[in-house]
Amino acid sequence: MKIRAARGILFGLAIFATSADAREVRIAMQGTQVGVSTLDAANAQNSNSALSLLYDTLIFRDGAANYHPHLAKSWDISEDQLVWTFKLRDDVTFHNGKPFTAQTAKWTLDRLKESKSSYFVGSFKDIAVVDDHTLRITLKQPDPKILHNLSLPYLGMLEPESVAALGSNFGIGNAVGTGPFKFQSFAVGLETKLIRNPDYKWGPPVAKNPGPVAFEALTLREFTDDNAAYLEFTTGGLDAMLATPIDYVRRVQDEGAAIVATPPKRLMYMAFNTSKGPLKELAVRDAVAHAIDQTSIRDSVFYGTGLEGHTLLPDSMGAAKVVPEFRISFDPSRAMAKLEEAGWKPGAQGIRAKDGVRLELSLWTANTTDLRRMAEVVQAQLAEVGVKINITTLDATALNEQAKANKHDIILRTYSALNADILDWLWSGERLGYPNMSMWKDRESERLKVAAFQTSKTADEQLKNTITYHEYLLSKYVAAPIFQPITYIAYDKEKIALTEPFLSMDFDTLTALDLKLK
């Protein structure tokens, strides 16, 4: 059945839409956002698109990693880079009518220190209220990523009285921020329903429309089955899909769609559990990493789109430019030689063994089409060098929780980032289990991490130190990089018209504000 009019696929463009209900927009979120258990920004184990729509941040970051004023209308930095003074807007109110002030900003950031997101304020020494609309943050040491952190949805501003009244139910039964949408309902694993904030008028200056949004309601739906999302989309039950698997892009085109793709800023990789079992051996990790044929995966799973992954960062980042010897590429001869040297000899059914133990590993991954298909290819490629892989699929949030139990061997996953401090987030010894699914803790690694992300005083120094840290992680084979995918965002062109293009991180405040009804 053909779609009534062309549906388009877009990233970095403003969207205009209607739906079956002319005032509602219905969207399928990315598979990696499925299963989020709370919309409490500070304590969300995983984030979804709703966080940036419910909660504004002090700083707004666009898809090109440019930073803009948002709730903070300006900021000054001391000569030693330790004191940041933010002038806040004086016309902002929370969804319940309470005013946004420097006091509420301080309260939100102080709360973060005791939350699951404490990492993002780890460099903060002191947070002080200068006056009702001036906030001063004093750092322990210069932090080149402070604006980045203050732009993250985890640091969205919360209303203190609502948090106190709702207790552990905050983010589940209600959520009160200053964003362009208000909370209506939240069903874990199913959907989030938001309604327009009619008082919103403080969008970031890069938005053509400062607010409010031009439609009444937004439903963000979760799908563990990409085929179900595709059917909903093609039969009119959805107005957009935020991450269209490559298998479905051609089908959508065949239904009359246009295609616009995102620049790669994601990495798919295998995290090796370095704390137990065969993968505790460096030689085994080295072998497994070099048994992966990135070119074959790009061509067979992603039809030649996207880029191969050879380091732990997307190629677009400066810190990805490591010395060539540290890049990880397909080398089956090396893989087999490393296993032989480590005493893993060919055994029954082609599976290697040592001291009576077979080289059999679990591989966990999120239940998305692309990751499932990649897992099956990885399973076949590792069988070629004598490693047996047993695949388990979980929804993304359950996967994150299960990793804390340290029962996995390999986790095949993906991340999206614009800054190299993702290395700190994913492989710091302070966060074993999640997000450090490699269970990696090493004294030299921690020293290099501190030099890269805590004591570097200039951007150039940080880049140099980050490359050194990156090269060390690669040399220890804490993970095997595989692929840098392109994200496709599908939308119904019959219901959606486009403005001039702009860069956006996701379906965020910028996209929502410049979305209009036909």
Enter the tokens of residue 186: 């939240």
Collapsing DSSP to helix, strand or coil, 302 comes out as coil
Q: Which helix (H) or strand (E) holds 72?
A: strand 72-77
457 vs 464: CA distance, rounded Å? 11
455 vs 140: CA distance, rounded Å? 10
Fold of 56-160: Dipeptide-binding Protein; domain 1 (3.90.76)
12 — alpha (psi -120 to 50), left (phi > 0) or beta? left
Number of other residues whose CB lies within 10 A of the CB of residue 201: 14
Amino acid 263: pLDDT? 60
**CATH superfamily name and code, 266-484:** Dipeptide-binding Protein; Domain 3 (3.10.105.10)
C-alpha neighbours within 13 Å on the C-beta side of residue 483? 29
Enter the tokens of residue 397: 């949030």
- Contact residues for 168 (Cβ-Cβ < 8 A; gap 6+): none
| Amino acid at residue number 421 | D
Give tens-digit pLDDT for 350-390: 999 999 999 999 999 998 888 999 999 999 999 999 999 99
59 vs 162: CA distance, rounded Å? 23
Amino acid 181: pLDDT? 97
Number of other residues whose CB lies within 10 A of the CB of residue 108: 24
458 vs 211: CA distance, rounded Å? 37
Fold of 1-34+180-262+487-518: D-Maltodextrin-Binding Protein; domain 2 (3.40.190)
Q: Which helix (H) or strand (E) holds 232?
A: helix 226-234
Collapsing DSSP to helix, strand or coil, 471 comes out as helix
Q: Which residues pair with 490 in a beta bridge?
A: 9, 241
Domain ranges of the chain: 1-34+180-262+487-518, 56-160, 266-484
| Pair 49, 510: CB distance under 8 Å | no
50 vs 40: CA distance, rounded Å? 10
Q: Which helix (H) or strand (E) holds 228?
A: helix 226-234
53 vs 180: CA distance, rounded Å? 6
Cα dist. 110→42, 50, 105, 413 in Å?
11, 23, 9, 31
Number of other residues whose CB lies within 10 A of the CB of residue 21: 12
| Pair 274, 440: CB distance under 8 Å | yes
Please state whether the predicted TM-score (pTM) of the whole model is above 0.85. no
Q: Which helix (H) or strand (E) holds 131?
A: strand 124-131
336 vs 515: CA distance, rounded Å? 54
243 vs 262: CA distance, rounded Å? 10
C-alpha angle with apex 370: 38 to 399, nearest 5 degrees?
Answer: 35
Enter the tokens of residue 226: 């990409």
Give tens-digit pLDDT for 4-25: 444 444 444 444 444 445 689 8
Amino acid 70: pLDDT? 98
Whether residue 160 has a cis bond before it, omega within 30° of 0 = no
Residues of the chain falling short of pLDDT 70? 1-22, 45, 256-260, 262-264, 497-505
Amino acid 13: pLDDT? 45
Nearest CA to 183 among 208, 209, 220, 149?
220
